């Protein structure tokens, strides 16, 4: 039920957190609940597909560069 594709058939967040699969990660004392739903200043639906692809490629390029720089050995000077 945790991975049900149809959101109307999925279990709630509270039920998912109480599920045995997530038990080791569940701490009711340390799980704040948002008072207001999260909103985004920009909605991705407003972008043309080509622009979205460009943004995704830029983001993945940044991530790739970060991974590469973390893996490169530091040579003392």
- Contact partners, residue 16, CB within 8 Å, separation at least 6: 2, 22
Give the ranges where the chain is alpha helix by DSSP (H): 13-18, 49-71
Q: Which two tokens stand for residue 2?
A: 């945790």
Give the per-residue pLDDT at 72.
Answer: 64
Give the per-residue pLDDT at 46.
Answer: 75
3-state helix, strand, coil in the chain (%, to 5): 55, 0, 45
Give the per-residue pLDDT at 57.
Answer: 92
Give the ranges where 8-48 is alpha helix by DSSP (H): 13-18
- Contact partners, residue 58, CB within 8 Å, separation at least 6: none
Question: Does position 29 have pLDDT exceeding 70, yes or no?
Answer: yes
Average pLDDT over residues 16-33: 83
Q: pLDDT tens-digit profile of 31-62?
A: 877 788 877 666 667 778 898 889 889 999 88
């Amino acid at each position: 039920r945790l991975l049900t594709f149809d959101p109307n058939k999925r279990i709630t967040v509270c039920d998912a957190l109480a599920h045995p699969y997530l038990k080791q990660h569940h701490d009711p004392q340390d799980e704040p609940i948002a008072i207001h739903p999260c909103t985004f200043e920009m909605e991705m639906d407003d972008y043309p597909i080509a622009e979205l692809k460009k943004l995704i490629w830029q983001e993945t390029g940044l991530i790739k560069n970060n991974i590469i720089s973390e893996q490169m050995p530091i040579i003392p000077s």
